[in-house]
Structure 1
Amino acid sequence: MNNGTFLKFVGNVTLVRPFLRANIAQLPDTTIKINSTLGKHVIAESKKHHFTWIFARSRNLESGISKYVSVHNVRTMQKSEAIKFTGNDVNCSEWLPKQLELVPIKVPRTALSSPWRSGNTWLRHLVQQATGYGTSSIYCDKELLAKGYPFECEKKQQDRTILIKTHKPEMRSFEGNISLPFAKRLVERMSEYHRAVLLIRNPYEFLVANKYFEHLDELPEEAFLNEKSYWRKGQPKIFQWWLDFNHYWLHEFKGPVLPVLYSRLRHDAGGELKRILDFMHVNVTELDIKCAQANGEGNFHRKPSKWTKINSIVDLFPADFQRRINASVSEFSKHLKSYHNVDWVSEYDILYTKTQDK
């Protein structure tokens, strides 16, 4: 890391790994602290430059340092390291729930926003495994609390969690008359966040996933083929929510937004995880990413359904509804490419590719 990279984040709270050596000592008026009471966290602070830099947790950090180290205007130390870590982080053991911790200080409130059944829980697990820090939620799901998400119900110290799960705006957040302008239809006041990671799932998969009511539900194929089911009748309303939800975060939210395609996350979890952590100013090593992937299954991965009576889940939807879905994906694709340089890549989203000519 050079000084230019470091100064780029002046005024922000940034999480980094201990493998980025203490060349921050090249900056004057910087204090480096090691505090074992914070679980071997390392914190660099500079009142002059108005930043706080946190070295995120290591799975196997063995340091010979047991006291605070202060560095002030240390030109002579530029060729040496202010802190020397003697351990090697080669242990890819999973971060257990009891090992996950809150960030030592307050960090920017970062929403992990998605409609239900979009992969939100899985992405939280990957982030926790890469960093060792916990994520939270605006809800309080006792099942998640018991199985891998110890800060699921944390409210008082939520600004010390690195991601906050939200499904808002929810369907009930909107006025039913879709002919009204969006601003008038959104009747709920939204919580404030500094930035957001927006997880977008292919609408065909999203609609099918909303047939499930619990995290690990399994349903027979026949349950999806009943044309008179409540799920079938509710598809237009659920899809309208998918449209409204993504519109809000892409067009109405005032802070920085990082759109993440679930299809890309599924095919390149490591690359997408690195992109997400870079957006959040969380710098990790390649080993951190590999360890997150090695322990990426989590406790809430539903087995994929086996279809024997249809060629694709696209066949579950009428032709006119397919055209509506495809048109919306095409519109969102143009926006994602123009404003976020994100390609809704066809080879990653086979479902969308198959319906292009319909």
Structure 2
Amino acid sequence: MVLLQRLYRMKSRLPVMMTVMMIMMVFCCSRLPCRLPVPLEPQPDTCVASTALNHPLLQRTNGKVQRMPGDVLEVDLEGASWQPWTEPGNCSKYLTRFGRRLSPVLLVSLPCSGNTWLRYLLEGATGLFTGSRYFDDHLHHGGFLGEGVTMDKGRTLLHKTHGATLEPFTHDLLSRYLEVDPNLPTVLLIRDPARAVLSYYKLVKLIGGDRHRAEIPESKFRSEEFRDFVTDVTLLWEELAMDRLLWTTKPLYVLHYEDLTANPIHHLRLLLDFLSVPTDEGRLTCLAAHLDGSFRRNSSRAFDPFTQEEKLRFVQAVTRVNNLLRLLGYPLIPTP
């Protein structure tokens, strides 16, 4: 009898309980960003997920440097200048000078990835000095008068930085982020990691004015110091590329050193277009006749100091960077 009485009371309360549940459901739905089922054909006012075409990372791929108001690539005719080609002839008339109110652009690379040579090509092609976060006295005396000139001066076409890849090495995420401004247009110069590591080690071990071009004894590459250097710098090479590909918010141009060496004038034209700098055919003609510059290391000896484990690390790092390059629509690292 007691059980029947309880069931009767529950039955009499059932409409009230259902009403309360309905009110709670309506309240919860009003608080949540719930929507009606999305139709198969997206409507203009329908919020849809980002696609490959409108993703912010992909929008940088085909972007260009937007010159700031007042930046008309003006040359400072009263300041210091440099004559890149001194032999008698038509090319001797060209000078390199500082600019006025130039828009900031970064040149990011691992050391010894061809950044000095690329700066020489750009200065010859445009007549504008490039800058550097660092001051190398030998480069300055060799005509790179933008060494040490801060980017906020607006006097240089672009500004070299190596990010967090200089000694003492660090792989700390925050340090890497703070080293390079992600909110500036950027040229990312990438070189095959094995060749870059080899050249970087030479630069570290050499001193004096010829350190950018000289060689070191092969015995230097058989030390534990070199083994540790390879491990550290291989990781730095990958981190630098990944960080710029993922963190840069402004137009990003990826240039591979091997592509540049294979066809320098062609890739220089593409880079000038990215920088929104008009092409000077007379300068390019002279540059084509003087491609090397003064600080390019031309090593002809075939030398392979790497272990099989180190070579595997190179392959794995290149594969990971290539996967991201492919995803974002950039050219892949050329096969050595």
> Fold match, TM over 0.5?
yes
Contact kept? 1:100, 1:132, Cα under 8 Å: yes
**CA distance 1:257–1:10, change in 2 (3 Å):** closer
Greater share of strand: 1
Question: Per residue, is there more helix in 1 or in 2?
Answer: 2
Q: Deviations over 1:200-245 (max 9, x none)?
A: 0000101111221221222233333x2x341223210111111111
What is the DSSP-based 3-state SS (H/G/I as helix, E as strand, rest coil) of the residue aligned with 1:302?
coil
The 1:245/1:54 distance shift into structure 2, 3 A limit, reads: closer
In structure 1, C-alpha distance between the alignment counterparts of 2:259 and 2:65, rounded to whole Å: 31
Judged with a 3 Å threshold, the aligned counterparts in structure 2 of structure 1 residues 156 and 271 are, in CA distance, closer, same or farther, namely: closer
Give the TM-score taking structure 2 as reference length. 0.67
Compared CA separation, residues 211 and 173, structure 1 to 2 (3 A)? closer
- How far did residue 129 of structure 1 move? 0.3
**Residue 173 to residue 283, structure 1, CA distance change in 2 (3 Å):** farther
SS at match of 2:91: coil
C-alpha separation between the residues in 2 aligned to 1:295 and 1:231?
35
CA 1:193–1:174: 2 relative to 1, 3 Å: farther
Which amino acid counterpart does residue 200 of structure 2 have in structure 1?
Answer: N
| Cα deviation, residue 291, structure 1 | 2.0
Aligned residues: 256
SS in 2 for 1:113: strand
> What aligned pairs does 1:247-266 form with structure 2 within 5 A after superposition?
247-266=242-261
Asked if the contact 1:173/1:187 (under 8 Å) is kept, the reply is no
2:219 corresponding residue in structure 1: 222
Give the AA of the match of 1:13. Answer: R
Query: Among residues 185, 189, 207, which one is paired with 1:199 in the alignment?
Result: 189
Q: 1:10 to 1:298 in 2, by over 3 A?
A: closer
> Partner residue of 1:338?
327
User: Higher relative contact order by CA 8 Å / sep ≥ 6: 1 or 2?
Assistant: 2
Structure 2 unaligned blocks of 5 or more: 1-62, 77-88, 204-210
Which of the residues 281, 290, 297 maps onto 1:295? 290
Q: Find the counterpart in structure 2 of residue 160 from structure 1.
A: 155
Measure the CA separation in 2 of the matches of 1:208 and 1:216: 13
CA distance in 2, matches of 1:262, 1:94: 29
Aligned-partner residue type, residue 125 of structure 2: A
* Identity across the alignment (%): 25
- Paired position in structure 1 for 2:83: none
Q: Residues 257-308 of structure 1, C-alpha deviation per residue, up to 9 Å, x if partnerless?
A: 111100001111011111111110012044432322222221112231413x
SS of structure 2 residue aligned to 1:212? helix
1:8-59, Cα deviation, whole Å (9 max, x unpaired): x999428xxxxxxxxxxxxxxxxxxxxxxxxxxxxxxxxxxx67544779xx
Structure (1 or 2) with the larger CA radius of gyration: 2
1:327 counterpart (308, 316, 321): 316
**Alignment gaps of 5+ in structure 1:** 1-8, 15-49, 58-89, 178-182, 350-358
Q: CA deviation at 1:249?
A: 1.0
What displacement does 1:338 show?
A: 3.2
Q: Normalising by structure 1, what TM-score?
A: 0.63
How do residues 1-358 of structure 1 correspond to structure 2 at under 5 angstroms? Answer: 12-13=66-67, 53-54=72-73, 91-93=90-92, 95=94, 99-103=95-99, 105-155=100-150, 158-170=153-165, 176=171, 183-184=173-174, 186=176, 188-191=178-181, 194-213=184-203, 214-224=211-221, 226=222, 228-307=223-302, 313=304, 316-346=305-335, 349=336
Which range moved further: 334-343 or 203-212? 334-343
Cα pair distance change 1:139/1:192, threshold 3 Å? farther
Q: Which amino acid aligns with 1:248?
A: D
